[in-house]
Amino acid sequence: MDFSISPDIEAVRDMVSRFMANEVVPVMEGFEKRGEFPRELVRKAGEAGLYGAVFPESVGGSNMGYMAAVVIIEEMSRQEVRFTSCNNQQGGTCPSAIYLAGTPQQVDKYVPNLLAGKTIGMMSLSETDSGSDALIAMKTFAKRDGDVYRISGQKMWASIANETDVGILMAKTDRDAGAKGVTAFIVEPKKYPGFKAQPIDMLGMSKAFRTNIVFLDDFVVPVENRLGEEGEGAKIIMRALQPGRLNVAAKCLGLAQACFEEATRYANERTVRQQPLGRYQMIQDSIAEMATAIEASRGLVYRAAWAMDNGQPSNRIASIAKYHASQTCKMCADKAQQIFGGYGLAREYRVSWYRVYADMLYNGEGSANVQKIIIAEDALGYKAADRHHGRTGLRDMRQADVAAAER
Ligand SMILES: Cc1cc2nc3c(=O)[nH]c(=O)nc-3n(C[C@H](O)[C@H](O)[C@H](O)COP(=O)(O)OP(=O)(O)OC[C@H]3O[C@@H](n4cnc5c(N)ncnc54)[C@H](O)[C@@H]3O)c2cc1C
C-alpha cells in the first residue's frame, strides 16, 4: 500500500496554505466584526481553484480529484474554519447536483460561475419539521403553472441563502409519493419573486456566513430550471451529498488539527508551578489522545477520497470517515478548551468557539447517528451502503468532460 500524497497534491496544499495565510486569515476577523459576507474573498478563492478540484476542466475545474479536494479543505479548515462555510455551496453539493443531473445548458450556465466564486451557491433541503428525514417529511410544494413552478413553504438551515445567486432547492411535486415525490430545482432568488431569507441567531457561529430560515411564497422557478425529471430529486441529492459528506469530514479533520496545534502550543507556553503544562501527564494524556485520533481520521478520510478517485464503492467508507472525523473533531475541541482552562472561554482565543463548529460539523451533511445507522445496517446485512454504486443513472463526476462530449 502506498500512503504517500503525490507531489502535485502537496504543491496544492502549499498553495492553499499561502492563500489562507496571506488572503483570508488577516482579514476574516474584520468581516466577522462587521457581519459582512466576504464576497470578493470567495471570488479570489474560486479564482485560485479552491472549489473546482473534482470537476473537469470543461466547466472550470482542475480535475485533480477527491484526494486534492480533501487536502484543500483540510488546510482551509485548519487555518480558518469559518471561511469553509461556503465550500459545499461553491464546490460541493450545489454544483455537484447540477453537474450530475443538469442538462448541458444548465451545467454550462451555472457550474463554471459557482466554481469560480463569481456566483454564490446554496443547497436547501432541510425544513422546520424535517431534518434527517428531510426527503420523506418535506412539506414545501412546487406547483406547475404553465412554463413556471410556484414554490410555497418554509426551508430551514439554508446556509448563505441570504447571499445566494444560484442554489439548489428541493420541493415536493407529488405530496403522496414520499421521497419519490421530491424534485430538485435550480433557483435564482435575486431574479424571481417570492423568496425571503432570514438569518438565524446562532450561538458562537460566524456573523459573516449566515444560516437562514427561508420563506417561500409562490416563489417562481422557470420549468427550464428543474433539475432532472419530476420525482428524481431524492436520487440527485443523495448522490450529490456523498462528496458533500467527504467535504465535511475533511473540515472536521482540519479543525481537529487546528485544536491540536493550539493545544500543544499553549501547553508549552503556559506554566503552572514553574513547569509548562505539557510536562504534566494528564495533559500529555490529552495530547496523545488527540494525536492518535487525528492520524486515524486522516487515514479514513484519505481512504474514502482514494476510493472515490478510483471508482470504488465509497458510500460506506465515506460514512465511516465522516463519523470518525466528526467524533475526533469534537473530542479535540473539548480537550483543547480544557487545556486552555479559563482562557478557553475567552472570545479572543479561537478554542473558545472551535467547540461550536465541532458540534455543527458533527450534525451537518448527515448527523453522527445517521452515519452510524448506515454503517450498522450495512454490517447487519439489512441494507448494503454501496447498493447504488455505479447504478444511479447520473453523470459521473470523475468521467471528465462527459458534459462537454454531450454538447
Ligand atoms: C449551521 C448549520 C448549517 C446548515 N446548513 C444546511 C444547508 O445549507 N442546507 C440544508 O439543507 N441543511 C443545512 N443544515 C441542516 C442539517 O443538515 C441538519 O441539522 C441535519 O440534517 C440534522 O437535522 P436536524 O437538525 O433537523 O436534526 P433531527 O433530524 O431532528 O435529529 C435530531 C437528533 O436525532 C438524531 N436522529 C435522527 N434520526 C435518528 C434515527 N433514525 N435514530 C437515532 N437518532 C436519530 C440525530 O442524529 C440528531 O442527534 C444546517 C445545519 C446547521 C446547524
Q: How do residues 124-169 score in pLDDT, each as one tens digit?
A: 999 998 888 889 999 999 999 999 999 999 999 999 999 999 999 9
Contacts of 117 (CB under 8 A, 6+ apart): 42, 43, 44, 45, 46, 47, 51, 90
Q: How confident is the model at residue 407 (pLDDT cuts 50, 70, 90)?
A: very low
The distance in angstroms from the start CA to the end CA of the chain is 40
Count Cβ atoms within 10 A of the Cβ of residue 20 and give its class: 0-12 exposed, 13-18 middle, 19 or more buried.
buried
Q: Is 163 a catalytic residue?
A: no
CA of 373 to the centre of ligand 1 (A): 14
Calpha distance 250→10 (Å, rounded): 16
What are the cell numbers at 176? 403522496
Q: How many CB atoms lie within 10 A of CB 91?
A: 30
| Candidates 1.10.3720.10, 1.20.1530.20, 3.40.1390.10, 1.10.540.10; CATH matching 7-115 | 1.10.540.10
State phi, psi for 2 to the nearest 5 degrees: -110, 115
Amino acid 404: pLDDT:
52
Question: Is it the case that residue 20 has pLDDT exceeding 70?
Answer: yes
Pocket test for ligand 1, best of 87, 88, 367 (most atoms within 8 A of CB): 367
DSSP at 221 = E
SS3 222: strand
**Protein residue closest via CA to atom 38 of ligand 1:** 132
Pocket test for ligand 1, best of 154, 185, 363, 365 (most atoms within 8 A of CB): 363
Find the mean pLDDT for residues 209-220: 98
Question: Is it the case that residue 403 has pLDDT exceeding 90?
Answer: no
- Model-wide pTM > 0.85: yes
Percent of the chain residues past pLDDT 90, beyond the cut: 88
**Protein residue closest via CA to atom 11 of ligand 1:** 125
Question: pLDDT digit string (tens) for 247-266?
Answer: 999 999 999 999 999 999 99
Q: How confident is the model at residue 58 (pLDDT cuts 50, 70, 90)?
A: very high
Calpha distance 157→197 (Å, rounded): 10
Find the mean pLDDT for residues 101-112: 97
Question: pLDDT digit string (tens) for 374-399?
Answer: 999 999 999 999 998 877 777 777 55
What is the DSSP code string of 307-358?
A: HHHTT---HHHHHHHHHHHHHHHHHHHHHHHHHTGGGGGSTTSTHHHHHHHH
Cβ-contact 183, 157 below 8 angstroms: no
CA of 211 to the centre of ligand 1 (A): 13
Architecture of the domain defined by 123-231: Beta Barrel (2.40)
Calpha distance 177→53 (Å, rounded): 36
**Protein residue closest via CA to atom 42 of ligand 1:** 369
CATH 2.40.110.10 region(s) of the chain?
Answer: 123-231
CA of 370 to the centre of ligand 1 (A): 9
Could you tell me which of 36, 61, 39, 37 has the C-alpha nearest to residue 51?
Answer: 61
Name the CATH topology of 235-379.
Butyryl-CoA Dehydrogenase, subunit A; domain 3 (1.20.140)
Pocket test for ligand 1, best of 86, 135, 157 (most atoms within 8 A of CB): 157
Amino acid 365: pLDDT:
85
Question: Which of 80, 269, 365, 406 is the catalytic position?
Answer: 365
CA of 369 to the centre of ligand 1 (A): 10
Contacts of 143 (CB under 8 A, 6+ apart): 149, 150, 151, 152
**Protein residue closest via CA to atom 45 of ligand 1:** 369
E-strand stretches of 121-181? 123-124, 141-145, 148-159, 167-172
DSSP at 20 = I
CATH 1.10.540.10 region(s) of the chain?
Answer: 7-115
Contacts of 95 (CB under 8 A, 6+ apart): 51, 55, 110, 111, 114, 115, 121
Amino acid 405: pLDDT:
55
Cβ-contact 174, 181 below 8 angstroms: yes
**Protein residue closest via CA to atom 43 of ligand 1:** 369
Ligand 1: which atom is nearest the Cα of residue 205?
A: 1
CATH 1.20.140.10 region(s) of the chain?
Answer: 235-379
Cβ-contact 68, 12 below 8 angstroms: yes
Count Cβ atoms within 10 A of the Cβ of residue 272 and give its class: 0-12 exposed, 13-18 middle, 19 or more buried.
exposed
Question: Which protein residues touch ligand 1 with a CB less than 6 Å away?
Answer: 123-126, 131-132, 157-159, 211, 360, 363-364, 367-370, 373
**Protein residue closest via CA to atom 52 of ligand 1:** 157
